[in-house]
Amino acid sequence: MKTQVKRLIAAGLTIAAIFAAGAGFYVYRSVAAISEMFKLNGQLQAEGYYMAEFEFKMLGCAHYLDKGRYITAFARLNDLHRQLKTRQGLIKVPAFADKNVEMDFYLSLQNPETGGFMDPAYPSFYYLEPTLNVVQHLELLAKETGRPLRLKYPLKFLDEIATPHKLTAVLDDLSTVGWLGAKLPKTNYIMAAFYHNYGELERNNLYTFSPAWKQALLEWFYANQDSKTGFWGPRLRYTGELLNEGDLGPTYKIVQLFAAPNGADRHREFPLRYKDEMLATTLRKLSRPMPEDADLAEVHDWKIARYQGIKLLTNYLWSGVSAENKQAAKTFMENMVQSTFEKCYQESEGAFCYYPGSKEATLDGTGDALSLLEVVGALSKDRQTFLWGAAAQKMVDLGSYNITLLQESDLRTIKNAQGVNSLRFYRTFPASGEFMSGVIYLNYPRETRVKDVTELIPKVKKWVSATPQSMGNWISKEAVLQRLSAVAAGPAPVSGRDLPLTMLNDVLRKNGELTVIGFDILQVPRYKVVLRYNPNPGRAGDSPG
C-alpha cells in the first residue's frame, strides 16, 4: 500500500510538473531515468539478457502519456527502470548446446494467450514487430536445423485487426497525436508503419491476411500520404496538421508497400505519388544535425531515422537526385560513417556498440553499423557502382612507373591525395572489380578511426562468431552472420603510416609489379598507381612520388 501511495504521489507531482513546464522537450527529459534506461538496455544486451521487448515497452509508455494515462505511464516506466537496474524478472539467454536447443528456447518465449512475443500487459498493436523479429531469427534457425518453422501457439493478437474495419480503426488511432505525444522523439505512428511487413508471416505460413484486408491497408496509406511533403506521419489530434513534415522511418517502411527497391510501382492502381516532394523533404531532413544536447533516447531515434532516410533516398529516389545533391548526400554519408566509427567502434573487440559512450559491443550496434556500410555501398561492388558509378570511370589513374627499389617517397602523391583513407596493395590490378579480394597489404597513410573493410570484416566476423549474445532489440546473431557471409573481405597485414618496405620490395621483385589503390571513407576506390620492377639498377626509372 505504501508503495502505491508513493507512486501516486510521484505521478501526481510529475503531472503537475508537466503542465507547469509547458511545451518542448522538457516533458521528455523531465523523466531523468529514460536516458539511463537506454544505457542499461545496451549494457544488458552485452551481458546476454533477452531485451527484444524493451523498445516496444518504452513506446507503450509513450502511448499512455499521449492518451492522458499518466499514472499508468509513469508506473510502467518506474517498474521497467527498476527491473533494468536489478535484473529481476529479466531472462538471461543461456549458452546453447546446438541450434535445435536455441530454437526451442526462442519458441518457448511465445505468450500462450496472445501468441505474441511481447509482454501482454501492453496494447496488442505493440506485438507485431517484436514477434516479427523473433520469427526472423527462428526462420534462420529453421534453415540451419532443417526443422519446419512452427510456433507453439496461434498468433491470436492479429485477430484483433483481422478485418478491414478493425485494421483501419487501429490505423486511425495510431495516426493522431496529442500535444504531449508531439513533444516526444518518436510517436506511435511507427507501429502503424510496421504493418507493411505482414508478408513475412504469410511467407512462413504463420498467418493469412484476407485480400480485403490487404486492399484496406493499401487504401488507408494511399489516402493518408501528405501531398505537400510526400511523407507519411502522425497528425495533431485537434488540428489535423502533419507533425514535423512527416516521419522519415515510417515513410521508408510504407514506401515499400507501393514501390520495389528499384523504384518501380508494385500496384498499377496505387502508383507511388509525390516523388519530387518526397525527395525534397528527405534531403531537408537528412541535412539536419543531431541536437548537441541530445540524450541517449534522442540519439537512438536520430540514428535509426537517418539510416532509414538514406535507404529511402538511395533505394527509391536516387534516379531523381541531381549530381549536386548526390555529392551532398555522399558528404552526409561520410560524416555518418566517420561518426559511427569514432563514437561506437570498440577497438578491443572489433565490433560496435549502439549508444555512444558504451564500452561493450552489441549485436544491435554491430548490425546497425553493417547496415550503414551496406547502404552506402561499402560492402558491395554492385551497390557501390549503382550509387557512385563504375570504378574504372571514376578512379584517378596516377600512372605506371618503373622502379628498382620501393621507397616511402614513391607513394607520396597517392598518400596525400584528397579523400584517401586507406591504401590497399595488390599483386596486380583487380580487373574483376572485386577490390576486397587479393589484398596483400593494407596501410593507413594518416590517423583515422574509420577502418578499411578488409581489416574490419574479419574482426567483426570473429566477434560475432564468439559472442554469447544471441539477440538484440531487433537483430539476431544469425541475421548478422548471414549478412557477413555475403562479404568476402581480407584479412591482410596492416600498419599505420610506415610501410613494411622489405616485404613489399620482396613482392615487387618476385611478382614484377605492385598496384596501389587509395580508398575513401565509403570504401570507394579513388586513385591508383602501378609500380613495375626494373631489375637494372643503372636505369632506376621514374618515380611516382
pLDDT at 25: 40
Is the separation of the CB atoms in 158 and 207 below 8 Å?
yes
- How many C-beta atoms lie closer than 10 Å to residue 424's C-beta? 26
Q: In angstroms, rounded to a whole number, what is the distance separating the alpha carbons of residues 54 and 51?
A: 6
The DSSP call for residue 236 is E
Q: Which residue has the cell 527462428?
A: 138
Express the helix, strand and coil content of the chain in percent, nearest 5 each.
Answer: 50, 10, 40
pLDDT at 545: 64
* Amino acid at the residue 409: S
Q: 498 phi and psi, to 5 degrees?
A: -80, 140
pLDDT in tens, 28-47: 443 568 888 999 999 999 99
DSSP string, 335-372: HHHHHHHHHHEETTTTEE-SSTT-SS--HHHHHHHHHH
Which residues, given as ranges, of the chain have pLDDT below 50? 1-30, 539-540
Cell of 336: 555518418
The residues, any chain, with a CB within 8 Å of residue 529's CB and separated by 6 or more, are: 398, 399, 400, 401, 411, 413, 414, 515, 516, 544
Q: 519 phi and psi, to 5 degrees?
A: -115, 145
Cell of 519: 580508398
Indicate the pairing of strand 439-443 with strand 494-495: parallel
The residues, any chain, with a CB within 8 Å of residue 116's CB and separated by 6 or more, are: 110, 124, 127, 128, 130, 131, 155, 157
DSSP string, 390-407: -HHHHSEEEEEEEESS--
Question: Considering just the CA atoms, what is the radius of gyration of the chain in Å?
Answer: 26
Q: In angstroms, rounded to a whole number, what is the distance separating the alpha carbons of residues 520 and 378?
A: 10
Residue 369's nearest CA partner among 283, 465, 439, 460 is 460
Q: Which residue has the cell 609500380?
A: 531
Is the separation of the CB atoms in 378 and 487 below 8 Å?
no
pLDDT in tens, 383-421: 999 999 998 788 999 999 999 999 989 999 999 999 999
Beta-bridge mates of residue 49:
92
Is the separation of the CB atoms in 430 and 438 below 8 Å?
yes
pTM for the whole structure: 0.86
DSSP string, 478-514: HHHHHHHHT-------EESSS--HHHHHHHHHHHSEE
Residue 106's nearest CA partner among 84, 139, 144, 83 is 139
- How many C-beta atoms lie closer than 10 Å to residue 5's C-beta? 9
Mean pLDDT for the chain? Answer: 89
pLDDT at 13: 39
pLDDT at 537: 62
pLDDT at 544: 65
Tally of CA atoms within 13 A in the half-sphere of 184 that contains its CB: 24
Cell of 62: 509513450
pLDDT at 31: 57
Residue 197 class from Cβ within 10 Å (0-12 exposed, 13-18 middle, 19+ buried)? middle
